[in-house]
Amino acid sequence: MLRPGHINKKMLRWLLPVAFVVLSVFLLQAVSSQRAYHIQGITPQDGVLDIRDADVSSCVLNIVNDWDFYPAALYTSEDFASGAAAVKAGPEESASDTPYGTHRLRILAQPNQYYTICSFSLDYASRVFVNGSEVAAFGRVADNAEDFVPQVGYMTIPMFSGESGEIEIIYQYGNYVHKDGGYIQPTYLSTPQNMEQFKAANDLVSLSVSGGLLLLMLYFLLSAAVRRKTDFLCLAFCCLVMAMRDQNFFNIHLLPADTSWYLVYRVFILIVMLMPVSILLLLKCMYAKATKHWPLYAYLGMAAVAAVLICVLPTQDIVSVSTAIYYASIPYLLYLIFGIIRHYIRQRRLNAVDILVLSGFLILLAGLLYEALLTGDSFEVTHYGAAAYGMLGFVFLNAAAINLQIQEREVALIESRSRGEMLERMNRLNMDFLHKVAHELKTPLTVISGYAQLTGMQLAAHRISDEAPGNLKTIQQEAQRLADMVTRLMEYSYGRKSELSFGKVIVPELLKNVDAIAAPMCLKNGSTVKITADSCADVHGNFEMLLQIFINLVVNANKNTQNGTIAISASDREREGFVLFRVEDTGSGISAEDLPHIFEQGYSASGSSGLGLAICQEAVEAHGGEIWVERTGPEGTVFAFTVLKEGEQ
């Protein structure tokens, strides 16, 4: 069952503009085909059409097919004037039952007026006489199949009413192409100016719709070649069939005038037969997994047999073959519809793309059904077709569906890229974390190594001083601190990261530990550590984190100081609410180029990891303070940072 929640506002925002475009196309066609004139139906009475009271200057008259009919006879005006013509046929006799005959219509009009009639010629050869003069001929009219030559065309015939105001029109026709004889196509009558506008509007619609479908066919062929998708190949096939379905475009505008009508007729019937085949093939391609493949093969096999029969059978029989394929298409269409419904029921959702595609198919099938029901009864359907408009609507709706799919894929691609960028950032953070952990672990190891080497040298020289117990205690403390770091790291890796505890930190005790750790490290470069704390107020913080800040600053200072002094001091009088700490060295200083970047993570002028000062900055900010370079130069560098006093947090 489809969930209504999938048909949301976002879907409507897509469907409404698409519906507006499709409706605009059909409205444009309706306006262009009816512009500048009004069509009015008019019926002859007993073979006479009275237009003396009709205002043909503002309308176009559609003459109903109710002319006098003379079957199996080819008469001229002289025959009617001399009385040689036989009695006209009764209402029960139809032109479709006779392969040749004559139609006659007398028009009563205003005297000395110019008129124009236009229509398709009669199927499939015709001669037209106006007031006794032959004005048009298509093919060769004959009373036997051997002399008959078929041809059709769109005729425009000028007429002049003369002094009497009476116009006589005679159509002679011959049809040995199929069994339906020759009937008069709807004939239009108006002033020459109106008729030119009428023809131009019909040609505009015919050429624009069919020409547009041919351009779409080329586009879909190119897409099929580039993207290697059968859907686009089927779309190209559908566009070609729908474009050729318009007789006005195919026969009048596209083919040379001397093309054999026997060939044209077979090709046209083949095109009509292929219309349902192309649509159902497209439907199957777009829902390939909804139904089994063997019914398609059986259906295409029948269509292939029908195509061969249309090429080899006599022309009188090929319409029946085309009609049989239309009937055979119905069960396969019902089978496809069943499969598509079952597909969406199993899928349990219907998104905007599905609605657009299904709406396009409904419009296309509606056009095809309209043609199947009205072909032969409607002049517009017979010669211009209706499925072409359904094909345009289908293409527009599918273009909207494709654009929507592209947009969804772009959104998915953006989301995928965002996930990739997020994973990359997480990877960088993990690498930074590992660098920081390595940096943190390295410091106590350095202290332990330094004191171990000092004690080892004393033991080797048999000069154990009073400082040896203190050195061993420092080694023990740093080993414990290293163990605590490893424990916290394991807790973090298992998702049991413990919170850092902040509390009262006694500054002299903190600096005493700093001195114990820093002094041995600085001895390697011949430098000494000087501590100045006096009676400084307590601070609020984490003892180990503060200790790490000092160690990192002393390590950096010791790198640039040879045989100098590293002074560490604390003052609670310079900043209100804060204790100000300084780490001052007598080294070479920091260059002006490096100074703006020293707190940036990963930046290092000496080739180190570039994490020490970044860690110091994070730790100081975690204590609510700030860190900066107070002074630097050839005489040395002073780093200063602040920590909140106890009770000021």
Chain segment 478-495, per-residue pLDDT in tens: 777 777 667 656 554 544
Average pLDDT, integer, range 425-435: 66
Q: If you average pLDDT over residues 338-365, what whole number do you get?
A: 84
* Residue found by looking up tokens 């499939």 in the block: 124
The average pLDDT across 150-174 equals 92
Q: What is the pLDDT of residues 258-268, one digit of tens each?
A: 788 888 889 98
Give pLDDT, residue 36. Answer: 47
Whether the CB-CB separation of 99 and 181 falls below 8 Å is answered with yes
What are the pLDDT digits (tens) for 308-340? Answer: 999 999 988 898 999 899 899 999 999 999 998
Q: Is the pLDDT of residue 19 over 60?
A: no
- Considering only residues 116 and 558, tell me which one the structure prediction assigns the higher pLDDT: 116
Taking Cα atoms as reference points, which of 599, 593, 508 lies closest to residue 546? 508
Please count the other Cβ atoms lying within 10 Å of the Cβ belonging to residue 377. Answer: 8
| Average pLDDT of the segment spanning 518-542 | 85
Torsion angle defined by CA atoms of residues 574, 575, 580 and 582, in that order, rounded to the nearest 10 degrees = -50
Banded pLDDT at 61 (limits 50, 70, 90): very high
What number is the average pLDDT over the span 219-243? 88
Helix (H) or strand (E) holding 630: strand 627-633
Q: What is the pLDDT of residue 382?
A: 60
> Taking a C-beta distance cutoff of 8 angstroms, is the pair 643, 539 a contact?
yes
End-to-end CA distance of the chain: 61
Do 134 and 207 touch, CB atoms closer than 8 A? no
Q: Which amino acid is at 201?
A: A
What 8-state DSSP symbol labels residue 597? G
Question: Amino acid identity of 428?
Answer: R
Distance of CA 520 to the CA centre of its chain: 69
pLDDT value for 496: 45
Residue 580 — very low, low, confident or very high, per pLDDT cuts 50/70/90?
A: very high
Strand partners, 61: 40, 189
**What are the structure tokens assigned to 336, written together?**
């496809």
Q: Give the largest Cα separation in the chain, rounded.
A: 157
Q: Which residues, at least 6 apart from 197, have a Cβ–Cβ distance to it below 8 Å?
A: 35, 36, 37
425 C-beta neighbours (distance < 10 Å), count: 10
Burial pattern 430-444, b for ≥16 Cβ within 10 A else e, equals eeeeebbbebbeebb
DSSP 40-56: EEE--BTTEEE-TT--T
3-state DSSP call for residue 279? helix
pLDDT digit string, tens, across residues 379-404 = 555 666 777 777 877 887 777 777 67
Tell me: pLDDT of 35 over 70.
no
Mean pLDDT (the chain, rounded) = 82
**608 vs 143, higher pLDDT:** 143
Q: Given the DSSP bridges, would you call strands 166-174 and 528-532 parallel, antiparallel or unpaired?
A: unpaired
Of 234-248, 430-444, 510-524, the range with the lowest mean pLDDT is 430-444
Q: Tell me, rounded to whole angstroms, the distance of Cα 336 from its chain centroid.
A: 26
pTM over 0.75: no
Tally of CB atoms within 10 A around 193: 13
Q: What is the dihedral angle through the alpha carbons of 375, 380, 386, 389, rounded to the nearest 10 degrees?
A: 180
Mean of the pLDDT values across residues 499-504?
A: 78
Query: Using the 8-state DSSP alphabet, how is residue 606 labeled?
Result: S
Mean pLDDT, range 431-456, rounded to an integer? 70
Q: Which residues contact 617 (CB under 8 A, 6 or more apart)?
A: 599, 627
520 Cβ contact partners less than 8 Å away, ≥ 6 residues apart: 447, 450, 451, 454, 471, 474
What pLDDT does 262 receive? 84
User: For 572, which DSSP code?
Assistant: S
